[in-house]
Structure formats: structure tokens, C-alpha cells
Amino acid sequence: MAKMEPAAVAYFEGKYVPIEEAKVSIMTHAFNYGTGLFEGVRGYYVEDENNILIFRLEEHVDRMVRNMNILCMEIDETKDQISEICIEVVRRSGFREGIYIRPICYKSELSLGPKLRGVESSFCCYVITLGDYVDIRKGLDVVVSSWRRLSDNAIPSRVKSTGSYLNSSLAATEAKQAGFDEAIFLREDGTVAEGSAMNLFMVLNGKLITTPPNADILVGITRNTVLELAREELGVEVIERPIGRTELYGCDELFFSGTGAQVAPVRSVDQRLIGSGQPGELSKRLQDLYFLVVQGKVEKYRGWCTPVY
Ligand code: PMP
């Protein structure tokens, strides 16, 4: 029998289908009003195990389910089933490389009217292959955006909602059009929030500083991973506090964290070099440790990795 080529599989309307067959109507509520929420979960292919390890699946599903409550969403699938579907789409795809899983919960009703209660919700999920999303070696050149990060009291920044990515798209587009790699959002009060799709860390006098969970950020799972690894494994003091824009220019190191971005050092902000203009010492140590952990090489954190096959 001929060997089947790997091909992306989706879970849609309760069934596993080839990704090309998973289609929604133009009347879908979420398509019209941005009433969807999702997760982005990475799986790393580990050569010596010939397996894919999904990183922190439980935490992603947990965030998703908590956010569903904010958007008044109820679906048929249980929390355990969501996790199982995330694994199953990868298993059925047959991929043996780095992948990205996108579980989505959305208002699937074909109805008019921007409301949340009483509008039917559904769950779907797909997988694609994905390598590095930004350059994680050279250090990124970033710019403070003229767009403000959406306020948690306007469009909840805490929720990874489809609608909120208009905000991210505006900032990322502006940055790229101006020749930069990424954007940093300020909040309405002028303090720092995060990147377009990543959290931000600053190193100052050996301490690791990041913005707190109530600073209009998406509270990243990578952010929480970095905080834990820095504290527990590298013995670094970590501080969650507001960060001023000009603090960025004078800090020792800066890096982004995110499922897509992973741990990505920043080498300049608004054309001011950070430190020596090279990825900083602590950033590199955390990046190295992060890649060991996601590959399942650190026994203590092996529980964060879910094997697919
Ligand atoms: N902030 C925003 C706006 C994001 O889109 C992301 C990516 N999910 C993050 C932060 C990082 O979150 P995580 O580490 O959970 O991927």
C-alpha cells in the first residue's frame, strides 16, 4: 500500500475532515462581529523520540475555557474533549515536524445583531506546520506603535478573541511598513503593554521585569513559563510592574515571549540600541532553557509536554 502523505486535518461540526472542507457561511455571527476566541498551541517535533510534543496544552485549554465564560459561550465539547481534539487533529494529519494547533470557539449562528447571550457557539480546530515565526537569533528591531493597546474594559485584552486582532494587525502593519520587525503597544495611560502578539520582558540590573496581568495584556502562557523558569531555574528576581516607554530605551536587555514568537530578543527600540545591540546574556540563557523545556529535555517540566503519537 502507498504511504499516505501528511495532510492537515480539521475538526469541524463534530467531525474530522480535510482542512479544505472546513468552511463557514458568510452569515456566521463570528465572521460579521468578531465574536470568536481561539488559542495558538505549538507542537515541537523531537527527532530522537520521532514524536511531536505539544507544549502546555492543558494551560491553553484552560485559558480558552475561562475566556469562553467572558464571551458567554457554551459548546458541546468538554474541556477534556477539547484537549483530545487538539491531539487528534495532529495525529490524523500525520505530521512529523513543528506544528501549530488552532482551536477556535465561535458564535456560529447565522444571525444578525451584536450580542453574546442566546447566540449559538461552536468549536472547531485545525493544525498547520510552523517553524520560527520571527527571527529569534539576531535580535528584532522594534518600534513603539502609534496605535494604543485595546483596553481590557473596551475589548477584553485578556481574551484571545478574533476581534481583538484588528488591534494587533494595525500595529504590526504600521511597524512593518516603516521597516521594523515588530511593534510595542502602549496603553491609553502611556505605559507599556506588550507586542502585537507577544508579551514583553525587560532586564534591568539583573532583574527580570514584565508588565502585570492587569496592564491590558493577553496573559501569555509563554510569559508565565519564562517567569517560572527565570525564578526557579536561574534564580533571577522577577518583578511584575508597570513599565514606562523611556525605560525601554535605557534597559539592559529586552525580549518578547509568545507561543509563535517563542523567546525573541529585541536589539533596538525606536532606533535606540538596547545594551550592546546583541541579544542579551539573560535573554539567551532563557531562550536556551525554553527550547530544552519545549523539547521535553528537562525532566522536571516534562509534564508540560504532551506526546501526540
Ligand atoms: N499577547 C498577545 C496579544 C498575543 O496574541 C499572544 C500570542 N498568543 C501573546 C501575548 C502571547 O501569549 P502566549 O504566550 O500564550 O502565546
Query: By C-alpha distance, which of 132, 145, 211 is closest to 174?
Result: 145
Contact at 8 Å (CB) between 198 and 261?
Answer: yes
- Give CA–CA dist 35/48, Å, rounded: 41
Query: By C-alpha distance, which of 300, 301, 304, 291 is closest to 46?
Result: 291
Residue 1 pLDDT exceeds 70:
no
Residue 6 pLDDT exceeds 90:
yes
Instruction: Quote the pLDDT of residue 2.
Output: 56
- Give CA–CA dist 130/145, Å, rounded: 27
User: Is residue 42 packed enough to be buried (19+ CB in 10 Å), middle (13-18) or exposed (0-12)?
Assistant: buried
pTM of the prediction?
A: 0.97
Q: What is the mean pLDDT of residues 69-89?
A: 98
Instruction: Quote the pLDDT of residue 37.
Output: 98
- Which residue of 133, 218, 221, 293 sits with most ligand 1 atoms within 8 Å of its CB, as the best mutation to test the pocket? 218
Q: Which atom of ligand 1 is nearest to the CA of 59?
A: 15
Instruction: Quote the pLDDT of residue 133.
Output: 78
Q: What are the structural domains, with CATH classification, of the chain?
A: 9-129 (3.30.470.10), 140-294 (3.20.10.10)
- Give CA–CA dist 282/23, Å, rounded: 45
**Which residue owns the Cα nearest ligand 1 atom 12?**
220
Binning pLDDT at 50, 70 and 90, where does residue 3 land?
Answer: low
Instruction: Quote the pLDDT of residue 293.
Output: 98
Which amino acid is residue 4, in one-letter code?
M
Contact at 8 Å (CB) between 40 and 259?
Answer: yes
Which residues have C-beta atoms less than 6 Å from ligand 1?
A: 40, 160, 168, 194, 197-199, 218, 220-223, 257-259
Instruction: Quote the pLDDT of residue 135.
Output: 84
Whole-number mean pLDDT of the chain? 97
- Give CA–CA dist 76/161, Å, rounded: 19
Strands 253-258 and 15-18: unpaired
Contact at 8 Å (CB) between 105 and 73?
Answer: yes
Strands 238-240 and 207-210: parallel
- Report pLDDT digits (tens) over 196-255: 999 999 999 999 999 999 999 999 999 999 999 999 999 999 999 999 999 999 999 999
Verify whether residue 107 is a known catalytic residue: no
**What's the gap in Å between 194 CA and the centre of ligand 1?**
9
- Report pLDDT digits (tens) over 265-274: 999 999 999 9
The catalytic position among 23, 115, 138, 160 is 160
- Report pLDDT digits (tens) over 44-59: 999 999 999 999 999 9
- Determine phi and psi for 204, rounding to 5 degrees: -140, 120
